[in-house]
Chains A and B, each alone.
Chain A
Amino acid sequence: MKKLGLILIFSLLLCTVYGQNKDCAADCSCSFDGVITDAQTGEPLAYASVQVEGTEKGTLTDENGHFVLEKLCAQEFDILVSYVGYKSVVHHHDLFHKHMNVQLAEDDMILESVVVEGDKQQSGLTTAAESKLSKKELDLVKNESLGDVLTNITGVSTMKAGANIVKPVIHGLYGNRILIINNGIRHEAQTWGSDHAPEIDVSQSENVTVVKGASAVKYGPDAMGGVVILDPPKMELLTGHLHGEAGVEAGSNGRSLSGNLLLQEGYKKWAWMAQISGRQQGDMKAPDYYLTNTGARNLSYMAGTRYHHKKLDLELSYSHVEQELGVLRGSVVGNLADLALAMESDEPAYTNDDFSYDINNPRQEVQHDVVTAKGEYNFSNSMLKFEYGFQANRRKEFDVRRSNNNELPSIDLELFTHTLDVEWLHPEINGWDGSIGGQWLYQDNNNVPGTNTVQFVPNYNNSRFGLYITESKPLDHFTLEVGVRYDYQQANVRGRGNDNSIYRQDLTYNSVTGLIGISKELGQYGHFRTSIGSAWRPSNVAELYSFGKHENEVEYGFWRWEIKSAGAVGTRDDVADQDSKPIDNETSIKWLATYNYKTSRHDLEITPYVNYIGNYIYTRPGGIISTVRGPFPYFVYDQTNALFYGLDASYIHHHNKTFSSQVRGAYLYVRDVSSDAYFVGIPLNKVGYKLNFEKSILGFDNVNASIEGNYIFKQYNAPKVISPTEIIEGEEAGTPVIENSNDRFDFAAAPDGYFLLDAQVNVTMGKLILGLRGKNLFNTSYRDYTNSMRYYADDPGINVLFSAKYKF
């Protein structure tokens, strides 16, 4: 009934807002404004010319680089922006983008003049806190994993299983508690595994935004911790000639070689782009030894086309990413005694003295294909957007096994996802601006037969439907934003128990989420945004159905265990369900505020946040089982309430036109508030300083250099340590050291804090950019608390990378 009511409310809203359009073209009252700046310095350009092609209409910018065009009789037109000594740019502009920000590049510069439309936030929400990596920042780190790239944004950390398998963590949440939107499509993969990194190649992207604030209203479940938005290169019309970029990068550590090529061209009504990139890397090296079997191979390609006709914009694209990722050979252990040995030894087992490009077991092979079709249609003063995406995600994981099983994957999954998103940005009504949207998702997850091991997760089909409305209105002193969303999800699950018996389940979930936020200008340079929003997440298949050993932990999903007599936790013969053992949706309330102060000399951003997650799903120790391999501690998935709070801060000071300094830091505290305990694996606090130099010297068009130091603190908020040896000894003495309790533990103490120094220099000569960068320049031996390899090996040592890019 609740559902019907909501649909009714949405329909009513649709009816009331529809039909209030006012067409400015009819009485020639259309207008828009914009700002023109120098692409290199960011200074406004006065007296630049702005012309509407094919008409007499035109104007010049004032000293602030600002222009206004009025009394236009059309809603879209080609705009020609020109200025002596600068490259002209023609841009097809429509009035739905209210502002036009043009960055003109000097004639002799490698940079192209570009138009950045609107100052709308990437998420479309007015009050969400967003942090961006510009194309320039992204260019430097293009060949790194998505997780590593995102650590350049304050408040984002990583969860790793070695150097290749990197998951982004936003404000302490990862996996299916954050959402990744790539080219407008939510990236759907096997996110339940902590060692499953998103199958995304950053070199396909032109800019990356992280939405830290409450945005689940717009994006639905999974957007609890934040949203990562990746945009491919924009297909501009009227480019005039073939544009492109070719680049190579070679790295000393892992002897990596990457190459990528991008081509694009735009004509009057349509445009196309094509991209290909590849990367080969061998064994990485820690300061004292090779990390055997940590090679990686990556191939990705993408092609897209865009058609634009009057009010309609259509885009079609296809992208393919395939990766083969090696996992440190020495991280495979059989039992607790092996683990104790691995932890005590100076270098990991199976370490070769020589470098190799070979990738053997354990390894992962992943492929991700996406087809997207999206469109926008501009009505006189509203807009309809739709996006359809089809994704095929294939994941094969190979473990160290016996006999012929080494050639067989232990995990072999195919996940097909259809998504359809429709959004209507409605006309303004009484000052209310906003959008109404619907999202539909259908998934089919299948285990590919032939693994010779009982499936880790079941087959399932999943349908989800969501409706949302977000509205904002400027009031006297601030802009208010409100939003509400309803989701309904249905899943049908078919799996097998460890004795191959079949279980089947139907699961339904639904939830309402809300958002309220304000945005306020503070003086000429300050901006304050704050929002409080709810989010929810249904439990995932691993949390419900896991059974047995995965890596070196034995885990039982929520529906596979029960309380036996005497309070001990044990596995059940059957699989429980929502009736016999209800599991509640994870629900979060996140408050976040961000204050930004930006002038030509200073750029300050401070973001405090608090996130309370009810029914938070986590693993806790259950006890010790005896197996043929000896005793093992086992963990069970359970629910508790968790509190996350933290602060991201960054400050950039421009000493002069040449030098600038940046200081940034991230602090996070997490606590299980129900049992007053810490969780294992909470991201680390970090503080960093960067000195940046930019000038045209030595006859080069531009020299950009920076040196950056980061100190990563030890995690003091970690549970106690119970070593594998203590567990074995306890078992032998008949005094188990682990029992069913909320008393968490870790096999090893959190590693010490460490300092890393990085530096880079990029020189621009006409259309060529040469770069040299170094990571971990002191060749520091360190272990990262949130890297699961920390029990076995150090993180990689120094890496010097040379790159060459040619833009045309």
Chain B
Amino acid sequence: MKFLRITIPVLLLFTVLFTSCSDDDVPEAENEEEVINKITLTFTPAQGGDVVTATYLDPDGEGTEPATQEDIVLQANTEYELTMSLKNTVGDENEEITDEINEESDAHMFFFGFTEGLFTDPQGTGNIGAGNRNNDVNYEDVDVNALPVGLITSWTTGDAASGDFRIVLKHQPNLKSQSTTTEDGLSDVDLTWNIEVE
């Protein structure tokens, strides 16, 4: 009977353990600061006039729902100041990522690429790609190391034309220098817009 003396408590223990405890905690809501799903470009004419905006929106962020992207329509022979807003609006979020980029401007840089002839200033095709860092782009802001950032840039359109306008945001922690290009660091943004100068 020795055997039973041992097994009964063990079986009892089993029963107690098996039917015990179940907590019901849900993971806490997290403030998502990594996803960027909405980018708004604002072109403000330097001499006054209509402000032009173009928005890229990917409603479900990391989901597969297709994104919408408005075309950029600018006036010919006009100087614009381009400012950008980057956001996470997935679900009920409304997180301004632009602030973080400003905070860490010494590790971020926007690069631009465009069809030749769209702009009279800057000229050329932009500074995307290896060895193109010093190509013409008019940065209007700098970081603590006096290196360009690109949240504010200026653009002067030429005669009526159409083409592409590409924006690449590189995250270059402990890397950004006078010579870093789009081949360095992580791409946080890489989008191409249809642009119409009329």
Are B23 and A500 closer than 8 Å at their CB atoms? no
Q: Which residues of chain B come closer than 8 Å to A618, judged between CB atoms? A: none
B103-162 with Cβ < 8 A to chain A: 103-104
Binds B, one of A95-103, A185-193, A619-627, A712-720: A619-627
The residue that B190 contacts in the complex, of A332, A502, A625, A630, with Cβ under 8 A, is A630
- 4 smallest A-B Cβ distances: which pairs? A499-B91, A548-B62, A334-B186, A334-B187
The residue that B187 contacts in the complex, of A338, A405, A504, with Cβ under 8 A, is A338
Nearest neighbor of A634 in chain B, beta-carbon distance: B64
Tell me whether B26 is interfacial, beta carbon within 8 Å: yes
Kindly list 18 other residue pairs between chains A and B, CB separation below 8 angstroms, not including A384-B7, A446-B25.
A338-B187, A379-B3, A400-B171, A403-B33, A420-B13, A420-B14, A442-B18, A444-B23, A447-B28, A449-B27, A459-B26, A496-B27, A497-B91, A500-B93, A548-B61, A549-B62, A627-B67, A634-B64
Encode B152-190 as 1/0 by CB contact (under 8 A) with A.
Answer: 000000000000000000110101000000011111111
Tell me whether B8 is interfacial, beta carbon within 8 Å: no
Nearest neighbor of A556 in chain B, beta-carbon distance: B64
Are B32 and A452 closer than 8 Å at their CB atoms? yes
B49-86 with Cβ < 8 A to chain A: 56, 58, 60-67
Tell me whether A745 is interfacial, beta carbon within 8 Å: no
Distance in angstroms between the alpha carbons of A142 and B67 in the assembled complex: 53
Q: Which residues of chain B come closer than 8 Å to A455, judged between CB atoms? A: 27, 30
Are A334 and B29 closer than 8 Å at their CB atoms? no
Distance in angstroms between the alpha carbons of A547 and B2 in the assembled complex: 55
The residue that A377 contacts in the complex, of B6, B30, B97, with Cβ under 8 A, is B6
Tell me whether A147 is interfacial, beta carbon within 8 Å: no
Tell me whether A509 is interfacial, beta carbon within 8 Å: no
Tell me whether B42 is interfacial, beta carbon within 8 Å: no
20 contacts between A and B (CB under 8 A): A18-B3, A350-B175, A379-B3, A402-B33, A446-B27, A449-B28, A452-B32, A453-B30, A453-B32, A494-B26, A495-B26, A496-B29, A500-B29, A500-B91, A548-B62, A628-B37, A628-B191, A629-B187, A629-B190, A630-B190
Tell me whether A570 is interfacial, beta carbon within 8 Å: yes
Are B58 and A628 closer than 8 Å at their CB atoms? yes
Tell me whether B22 is interfacial, beta carbon within 8 Å: yes
Encode A617-647 as 1/0 by CB contact (under 8 A) with B.
Answer: 0000011011111100010000000000000
Are B26 and A500 closer than 8 Å at their CB atoms? no
Distance in angstroms between the alpha carbons of A738 and B73 in the assembled complex: 32
Tell me whether B39 is interfacial, beta carbon within 8 Å: yes
Residue from A386, A454, A461 with most neighbouring chain B CB atoms (10 Å): A454
Q: Which residues of chain B come closer than 8 Å to A447, judged between CB atoms? A: 27-28
Chain B residue total in the interface (Cβ 8 A): 60
Chain A residue total in the interface (Cβ 8 A): 72
A interface, CB within 8 angstroms of B:
18, 332-335, 337-338, 341, 349-350, 377, 379, 382, 384, 386, 400-403, 405-406, 410, 418, 420, 422, 438, 440, 442, 444, 446-447, 449-455, 458-459, 461, 463, 465, 492, 494-502, 504, 547-549, 554, 556, 561, 569-571, 622-623, 625-630, 634
Are A498 and B33 closer than 8 Å at their CB atoms? no
Are B62 and A422 closer than 8 Å at their CB atoms? no
Tell me whether B12 is interfacial, beta carbon within 8 Å: no
Distance in angstroms between the alpha carbons of A422 and B36 in the assembled complex: 52
Nearest neighbor of B95 in chain A, beta-carbon distance: A452
Q: Which residues of chain A come closer than 8 Å to B64, judged between CB atoms? A: 556, 561, 569-571, 622-623, 625, 634
The residue that B188 contacts in the complex, of A453, A498, A504, A629, with Cβ under 8 A, is A629
**What is the CB-to-nearest-CB distance from B194 to chain A, in angstroms, rounded to a whole number?**
13
Are A500 and B188 closer than 8 Å at their CB atoms? no
Are B175 and A547 closer than 8 Å at their CB atoms? no
Q: Which residues of chain B come closer than 8 Å to A440, judged between CB atoms? A: 14, 17-18
**What is the CB-to-nearest-CB distance from B67 to chain A, in angstroms, rounded to a whole number?**
5
Tell me whether B101 is interfacial, beta carbon within 8 Å: yes
Tell me whether B195 is interfacial, beta carbon within 8 Å: no
**What is the CB-to-nearest-CB distance from A162 to chain B, in angstroms, rounded to a whole number?**
18
The residue that A570 contacts in the complex, of B6, B30, B35, B65, with Cβ under 8 A, is B65
**What is the CB-to-nearest-CB distance from A480 to chain B, in angstroms, rounded to a whole number?**
27
Q: Which residues of chain A come closer than 8 Å to B28, judged between CB atoms? A: 447, 449
Distance in angstroms between the alpha carbons of A500 and B91 in the assembled complex: 7
**What is the CB-to-nearest-CB distance from A507 to chain B, in angstroms, rounded to a whole number?**
13
Distance in angstroms between the alpha carbons of A386 and B14 in the assembled complex: 12
Are B23 and A403 closer than 8 Å at their CB atoms? no
Tell me whether B100 is interfacial, beta carbon within 8 Å: yes
Nearest neighbor of A350 in chain B, beta-carbon distance: B175
Q: Which residues of chain A come closer than 8 Å to B56, judged between CB atoms? A: 628
Q: Which residues of chain B come closer than 8 Å to A438, judged between CB atoms? A: 14
Are A626 and B27 closer than 8 Å at their CB atoms? no
Are A500 and B92 closer than 8 Å at their CB atoms? yes
Nearest neighbor of A335 in chain B, beta-carbon distance: B187
Q: Which residues of chain A come closer than 8 Å to B46, judged between CB atoms? A: none
Distance in angstroms between the alpha carbons of A450 and B32 in the assembled complex: 10
